[in-house]
Each structure stands twice: as C-alpha cells, then as structure tokens.
Amino acid sequence: MAVELSVAGVEQLLKGITIPPRPIVLIEVDQELKRPEPDLKKVAGLIARDVGVSAAMLKTVNSPLFGLRSKVGSVLQAVQLLGARNTRNVVTSLVLRSTMGGAAASLERFWDSSEKVASISAYICTMLPKAPREEAYTFGIFHDCGIPALMQRFGDYRDTLKIAGGDSRPPTEVEEERHGTNHATIGYLIAHSWGLSDVICQAIQRHHDLGALGDDDSFSPMARVLVAVNFLAEHLHETSLRMRDDRQWVQGEGIVLDYLGLTHGEYAELSEDVMALCT
C-alpha cells in the first residue's frame, strides 16, 4: 500500500538529495490553464520561449506511438489539439528532462529510454477502453525520475543499478538495502513537489509493486491502470527494443495482462506493433 511520509521521514529520505524546484515556465503555464477560459495562444507563447521544450513537444505529439490522427506543425496547433489538461501533462514531462540534467551525456540514454517507455505507454492506452493516454505519458516520463537524483547523491549508485539488474527482486528493494531509500519514493516526492496529480504520484510510488494491482481501497483504480500499463510498456521496451531479459515480467505477466484485459494473442500483436513503430 502507499506509504504516508511524515515530515521527519521526508527530511531523512532527502538528506543530501536535491529536489529541483518547479520551473517558472510550468508555474506560468499552469496559472493560465487554470483560468475559466484559458488563452491557448498565450500558453503556446509561454512554451515557445523555450526552444528545446517547443521542439520536444512537436516531436512527442507527432510520434506514431502517441497516436494522433494528424501531424501538427506548431506549438499552438499542438496545444489546441491536446487541450488544457493534456498540454499541462505533456509540457511538465518535457520540462523535467531539461531541468534534471537532460543534456548531460551520462543521462542521455536514461532520458531516451524514459521517453520511449512513456510513448509506448501512451500507445498501449490507445488500445484500451477509457485508458488515460496523456497521464500515462506523463507517468512514463516521471516514474524513474528519482534515478538521476540518486545518481547525483550516491557515487556508487551505478553499481546499485547493475546489481539490481541481475537480481530477481524489485530494484527498489536493492536500493533500500544499499542506500536507505529508493527511486520510486524519491520520484514520488519530485512529482508531488511539481504539482502532479495524486493519481500519478501514487502510481510512481508503487510502480515496481505488483501488489498494487490487487485489492487495496487506499490505492486509486486509475493509479493501478498506470502501474499495469507501465509494467507492460517497460517489458516491451526491454525485450522488443533493447533485447534484454525482464525478470519482473516472469512474475507479473499473468497479473498484468489479466488486469488490463489482454489475451496473450493481443499482447503478441501489441509487441509487434511497438517494434514496427519504434524502428
């Protein structure tokens, strides 16, 4: 179940770990989008001030995995097509990368993987009834955002990732043993401080927990959907694109597919679609 963190507990978890403040562009975009009648041209202008975020936004919404019916050629078109809530989610996701060292060569592969998982998550949601595509994309970008924070804090954290990769347990358990905290909890704190929805924050906190897909009245049903979609998206990314084993999938395949209502045949078709769209 989701863990309620006390003030003292948060302070202990964050000892030596920097949580980046919410960027001003997000604050300004959010303020405009919360108006009764937001000015989408103004929103597009705020986004366009950051050339990197503008380019990334167009690349993201035009991706085949994102599932839009037509291509967009400007930030304003993207904002008009996505709408207020979805624009907020996508922009928040894109700004995270630039804020947390996205340009650093050491993190380039990490962010590329996060973007792929997020896009695959969005695509999976187009195949499911009433699945939250834009929330799944935002969650996909943010779910591992605690990793760069821990990498900055602990000099041996890369060793931890290697150890976790060869361990059958969830990586969060290995992190707890070695560092006294884990990337899911740190990611939850970052997402919460950036104003993401409670549903996304809950899902980030438990995205390695197969038990989250069971009966738990304290855990949002929509957060469960995000966790299940993420398990599948990460599996497809690891096996179809990176040609690597996925130890957690061996334990969770039946649970995840049952929860999402997918047959093994539908899963096989989805895997083929993702491979075709990503190559």
Per residue of the chain (279 residues), give pLDDT as tens.
444 544 445 455 556 677 778 888 889 998 998 898 999 999 999 999 888 888 888 888 888 776 677 788 899 998 988 888 788 888 888 888 778 765 455 677 888 888 889 889 988 998 888 788 888 988 998 999 999 889 888 889 999 999 998 888 889 999 999 998 999 999 999 998 888 889 999 999 999 999 899 877 778 889 999 999 999 999 998 887 666 666 778 788 999 999 999 999 999 998 888 888 776
| HEC profile of 152-170 | HHCCCHHHHHHHHHCCCCC
Residue pair 111/97 in contact by the 8 Å Cβ criterion: yes
CATH of 1-20+105-279, one of 3.40.50.300, 2.40.50.140, 3.60.20.10, 1.10.3210.10: 1.10.3210.10
Burial status of residue 201 (CB atoms within 10 A of its CB: 0-12, 13-18, 19 or more): buried
Q: Which residues contact 18 (CB under 8 A, 6 or more apart)?
A: 149, 152, 153
Confidence at residue 275, expressed as pLDDT on a 0 to 100 scale: 82
Confidence at residue 74, expressed as pLDDT on a 0 to 100 scale: 92
What's the whole-model pTM score? 0.82
Where are the chain's structural domains?
Answer: 1-20+105-279, 22-99
